[in-house]
Amino acid sequence: MDNPKHVAIIMDGNGRWAAQKGLPRIAGHSAGAKSVEEVIKAAKESGVRILTLYAFSTENWKRPKHEVDALFKLLENYIDSQTDILIKNDIRLSVIGRIEGLPDSVRRKLKSVMDRTKSGSSLLLNLALNYGARTEIVDAVRAVAKDCVSGHVNPDDMDEKAFSGYLYTKDLPDPDLLIRTSGEMRLSNFLLWQLSYSEIFISKKLWPDFKKSDFVEALDEYRNRQRRYGK
């Protein structure tokens, strides 16, 4: 089997990595950002076309305010430091989630980078921010209901393909491969609709320890599997 076209990653373990080293949690997030850079390069070199990263979930708002604030500051700094690199490497940035719920400064920077990288064609870097799969499905159901009430959609014509067109990922193919780090065996409210037939690779490594060789290992295992889609 060929390399996956779309890889999604649950980047788990930053906090535990920091705790093991006696460091504040934000140090784990900073170290995790370096793994993001390495995996983006590995994905591009491997011919992956779409890389979706679970960066901030709707549940993450429950964390202490100082950690949430530090996370968004880290994101802003990452955007500032990586924009020219994304452009140079022909990488386009996109975002899925309830973007309107993000801090204003973050939204402005994301919009600027998305505009500046819109012509990138070698890799689509798709960040899931303020994202929750159940929230995504609820938002889609609301949109479908509105279109049915307005007469734009006949409920009898609604099928899986049509419904997918109302999701945040409406312009993207479903992930071929899901990678989760830290050894946890759950989806954590991530792309529940889209991952229906994705292959899953679990790494016991914490996200800051996940490097290019680990990403390549996941791709190697994917190529050795058979996707049957229930057949």
Is residue 187 within a helix (H) or strand (E), and if so which, with residue range? none
pLDDT given at position 22: 97
Cα distance between residue 28 and residue 63, in whole Å: 15
Query: Residues 2, 3, 60, 176: which is the catalytic one?
Result: 60
pLDDT band per the 50, 70, 90 thresholds, residue 226 = confident
Q: Are strands 123-131 and 177-180 parallel, antiparallel or unpaired?
A: unpaired
**pLDDT band, very low/low/confident/very high, at 224 (cuts 50, 70, 90):** very high
SS3 call for 179: strand
**pLDDT at residue number 230:** 77
| 197: number of Cβ within 10 Å | 12
Specify the amino acid at residue 25. R
Task: Judge contact between 180 and 203, C-beta under 8 A.
Answer: yes
Q: Which two tokens stand for residue 110?
A: 């994301």
For residue 1, the model assigns a pLDDT of 80
6-132+174-223 to CATH, choices 3.40.640.10, 3.40.50.300, 3.40.1180.10, 2.40.128.630: 3.40.1180.10
Nearest 5°: phi and psi at 47? 85, 10
189 carries an active-site annotation? no
Percentage of the residues of the chain whose pLDDT score is greater than 70: 100
**Tens of pLDDT, residues 144-179:** 999 999 999 999 999 999 999 999 999 999 999 999
Banded model confidence at residue 216, pLDDT cuts 50, 70, 90: very high
| pLDDT score recorded for residue 8 | 98
Catalytic residue, candidates 2, 3, 12, 214: 12
pLDDT at 228: 78
Helix H or strand E encompassing 50: strand 50-57
| pLDDT at res. 146 | 97
User: What are the phi and psi torsion angles at 20 (to 5°)?
Assistant: -65, -25
Q: Is 12 a catalytic residue?
A: yes
pLDDT at 53: 98
Measured at the CA of 179, the angle between CA 164 and CA 219, to 5 degrees, comes to 105
Predicted confidence band of residue 126 (pLDDT cuts 50, 70, 90): very high
pLDDT at residue 56, rounded to an integer: 96
- Give per-residue pLDDT as tens, 34-43: 999 999 999 9
pLDDT at 227 over 90: no
Single pTM value for the model: 0.95
Indicate if the pLDDT at residue 48 is higher than 90.
yes
State mean pLDDT over 118-135. Answer: 98
